[in-house]
Amino acid sequence: MQTAISPKQNSTKAWLKDNGGMIGLLIFLAAFPFIVALFEGQPFTEVLANETGNAKFLQGLLIEVFILAIYAISYDLILGITGLLSFGHAMFFAAGAYFTGIAFKNYELGIGATLVGIVVLGIVQAILFGIVLPRVKGITFALVTLGMASMFHIIIQASELAEWTGADVGLQGVTTPDLINTSTERFRLYLITLMVTFLVYLVYRRFVDSPTGRVCVAIRENEDRALMLGYNTFHFKLAALILSSITAALAGFFHTVHQPIVSPNVAGLGWTVAALLIILMGGVGTLSGAMVGAAVFRLLEFFLDKQFGENANFLLGVIYVLLVLFLPFGIVGTWRAKRFRTQS
Amino acid sequence: MGNLLEVLNIHTFIGQFHILEGVNLEVPQGSITVLLGRNGAGKTTTLKSILGLTPPREGKVIFAGEEIQGQRSFDIAALGIGFVPEHRAIFRDLSVLENLKIAERKKGDLARKEAFIFNLFPDLKRLIKLSGMNLSGGQQQMLAVARALVPDNKLLLIDEPSEGLAPVLIEQMMEAIRQLSQDTTVLLVEQNFLMASRLAERYVIIEEGQSVTQGAMADLVGDEETIHRYLGAA
């Protein structure tokens, strides 16, 4: 019997219709290296063989965008969806990046074992943040997480740990497995990071639409109300933190694979601010805004740097201020609000 | 008729401020009891103290024979106490359906209560997919009450249900509370004395953080001196 609360019948056709734009973008991005090669007069076989050229260079740039998107969406889950303001998010990313570097360089672990380690690391970090969750809220939580991340930043630069972390120089010359080597297997790494980015987005959307995700949204709006409905909000915040931490560590994994060096800067406050800026530009709490924001953030930085050299940072600052001023809900948030107004 | 809820001499502090300085009240099973008092008397704090949101430092809260003061809010709610806060406290970013679904304690709660809820608030059925932020004030208030009806609550605490509602909606809300009280005991905070007197069987008056009198509503209606002294109405 169909009732007002019956769930919408899901069908593959309906799913494809709802996600047509995303699938189109995925196909376009998968074909992008070949489109570039076509314009450059480069044979497709050279793209597949990872020969030097604009196609390979732009794949590298887009891999950086995908990594930023994975990192930023993980921040959107805890800030935009669950309402937890953390200033220590860079630690999640940096720990993943350092762990990957150490696993490959010092212990010659395989990809599978390293990824298992990333998941465990993600859970441990989230639990570490979770310890303070019931005790502090709002700006206090932000400052405590900043303190934790700062300690991590100091520890990885300690000279006593130079053998593993490279101290203040960072990890240099990480040898990544041939299968995902960014120099020799750029196209494969490009496709893997592209697929992982979309997969992470789909998993996050599913999470937000799930009963657990709806409680996270409720917590963001008013935690007391969620408590009054009988929810132990700590469990839900911890679940969001665990998913977010694993995802950020995964972004750190790809960062190390792609660079393949790890600078201590990735553990600094600047890296958390980058995530915040990306989701502010894209649209806080929209998830897809993190992807759009990451593309705007990295591509703008690249093109302005190319055109204006050392003046690029000033121009970037001006553009960020204008974007936040004129698109207060971010690019995706403003677009959604406009579409809603048009429809109603 | 036994008491479903008993509050015995509770003292509640918010920060360093002593807000409740000895509140006593009884809510008989199956009744509608109203908490009356002037603005700032401590009515909402009393509800929050029962729920553990502002836990009392002294005194007892006994629900269905069990002492619940000191328990965590979500554990208290899970015992079967629903709360409809003031100011139309719905989740504005969730749809009407999601606002109702999130109140389920057991899978299928909403499906079982669907007919009852939409019979009380027919408008909500039409608005089921709309986001909470797009509802009018009255619709939000109805959704807030409807949400508390989704799980099997033994006691409903309703804070100022008529606040800001048009007269026609107040009538509808009164009718809804009357109907839901057939299955659930209700403790109501209400400034609108006319509405309170028509709905409730019992009353408790709170003045400056203390309960000063309680009894049958029928007795209060005829007691103009008490009404004038504590409620400023005649």
pLDDT tens-digit profile of A323-332? 888 898 999 9
Which of A4, A217, A218 minimises the CB distance to B118?
A4
- Average pLDDT for A103-116: 95
More confident residue, A340 or B160: B160
Residue A6 maps to a domain: no
d(CA B33, CA B26): 8
Shortest Cα distance, chain A CAs vs residue B233, angstroms: 32
Which of the residue ranges A102-111, A149-158, A262-271, B142-151 would you say has the lowest mean pLDDT? Answer: B142-151
User: Residues of A with CB below 8 A from B73's CB?
Assistant: 224, 227-228
Shortest Cα distance, chain B CAs vs residue A303, angstroms: 37
Structure tokens at A286: 């929209």
Q: Amino acid identity, residue A197? A: T
Contact A227 B53 (CB under 8 A): yes
- The answer to whether residues B29 and B184 touch, using CB atoms and an 8 Å cutoff, is no
Q: What share of chain A has pLDDT > 90, as a percent?
A: 75
Low-confidence ranges of chain B (pLDDT < 70): 1, 233-234
Which of residues 110 through 139 in chain B touch A, CB cutoff 8 A? 110-111, 114, 118, 125, 128, 134
Residue A275 maps to a domain: no
Query: Is any Cβ of chain A less than 8 angstroms from the Cβ of B97?
Result: yes
Residue A243 maps to a domain: yes
pLDDT, residue A258, reads 96
pLDDT, residue A165, reads 92
Contact A3 B83 (CB under 8 A): no
pLDDT, residue B234, reads 46
User: Residues of B with CB below 8 A from A227's CB?
Assistant: 53, 72-74, 77
User: Residues of B with CB below 8 A from A224's CB?
Assistant: 53, 73
Which of the residue ranges A33-37, A40-44, A82-86 would you say has the lowest mean pLDDT? Answer: A40-44
Count the helix, strand and coil residues of chain B and give each as a percent rounded to the nearest 5.
40, 30, 35
Sheet order of strands, B32-36 included: B81-84, B155-159, B185-189, B32-36, B202-207, B210-216
Contact A228 B114 (CB under 8 A): no
Contact B105 A230 (CB under 8 A): yes
pLDDT, residue B1, reads 62
Query: Is any Cβ of chain A less than 8 angstroms from the Cβ of B80?
Result: no
Structure confidence by residue, pLDDT tens digits, B111-129? 988 888 888 888 888 999 8
Residue of A nearest to B77 (CA): A230
Shortest Cα distance, chain A CAs vs residue B52, angstroms: 9
- The answer to whether residues A129 and A285 touch, using CB atoms and an 8 Å cutoff, is no
Residue of A nearest to B110 (CA): A5
Residue A62 maps to a domain: yes
pLDDT, residue A140, reads 93
d(CA A272, CA A283): 16
Q: If you average pLDDT over every residue of chain A, what do you get? A: 92
Would you say residue A83 has pLDDT above 50?
Answer: yes
Which of A214, A229, A233 minimises the CB distance to B98?
A214
Shortest Cα distance, chain A CAs vs residue B101, angstroms: 8
A-B Cβ pairs (cutoff 8 Å, strict): 67
Q: What angle do CA A139, A316, A273 make, to 5 degrees?
A: 20
pLDDT, residue B148, reads 86
pLDDT, residue A7, reads 64
Residue A274 maps to a domain: no
Which of B91, B114, B118 minimises the CB distance to A218?
B91
pLDDT, residue A254, reads 97
Shortest Cα distance, chain B CAs vs residue A107, angstroms: 47
More confident residue, B139 or A188: A188
Torsion of CA A107, A111, A113, A119, to 10 degrees: 120
pLDDT, residue A10, reads 65
Residues 6+ apart with CB under 8 A from B112: none
What residues pair up with B33 in beta bridges, in sequence order? B187, B202
Query: Is any Cβ of chain A less than 8 angstroms from the Cβ of B101?
Result: yes
pLDDT, residue A203, reads 97
Would you say residue A2 has pLDDT above 70?
Answer: no
Residue of B nearest to A234 (CA): B74
Most distant CA pair in chain B: distance in Å?
Answer: 50
Structure confidence by residue, pLDDT tens digits, A128-137? 999 888 888 8
Query: Is any Cβ of chain A less than 8 angstroms from the Cβ of B143?
Result: no
Residue of B nearest to A221 (CA): B91
For chain A, the domain total comes to 1
Residue A285 maps to a domain: no
What is the pTM (predicted TM-score) of this model? 0.88
Residue of A nearest to B88 (CA): A225
Shortest Cα distance, chain A CAs vs residue B124, angstroms: 10
Structure confidence by residue, pLDDT tens digits, A272-300? 999 999 999 999 999 999 999 999 999 99
Contact B85 A4 (CB under 8 A): no
Q: Amino acid identity, residue A75? A: Y
Contact B89 A225 (CB under 8 A): yes
Contact A229 B128 (CB under 8 A): no
Contact B94 A214 (CB under 8 A): yes
Structure tokens at A264: 């201590």
CA distance to A5, A14, A100, B121, B129, per residue, from A2 (Å) = 8, 18, 51, 19, 15
User: Residues of B with CB below 8 A from A225's CB?
Assistant: 85, 89, 91
Q: Which domains does chain B have, with CATH numbers?
A: 1-80+153-164+184-234 (3.40.50.300), 87-152 (no CATH)
Contact B114 A4 (CB under 8 A): yes
Residue A86 maps to a domain: yes
Shortest Cα distance, chain B CAs vs residue A79, angstroms: 15
User: DSSP class of residue A7?
Assistant: P
Q: What share of chain A has pLDDT > 70, as a percent?
A: 97
Structure tokens at A32: 């992008």
Most A CBs within 10 A among B50, B73, B97, B123, hence the mutation to make, goes to B73
Q: What phi and psi, each to the nearest 5 degrees, are found at residue B58?
A: -135, 160
Residue A340 maps to a domain: no
Contact A230 B98 (CB under 8 A): no
Range(s) of the domain holding residue A166:
20-268
ipTM confidence score: 0.82
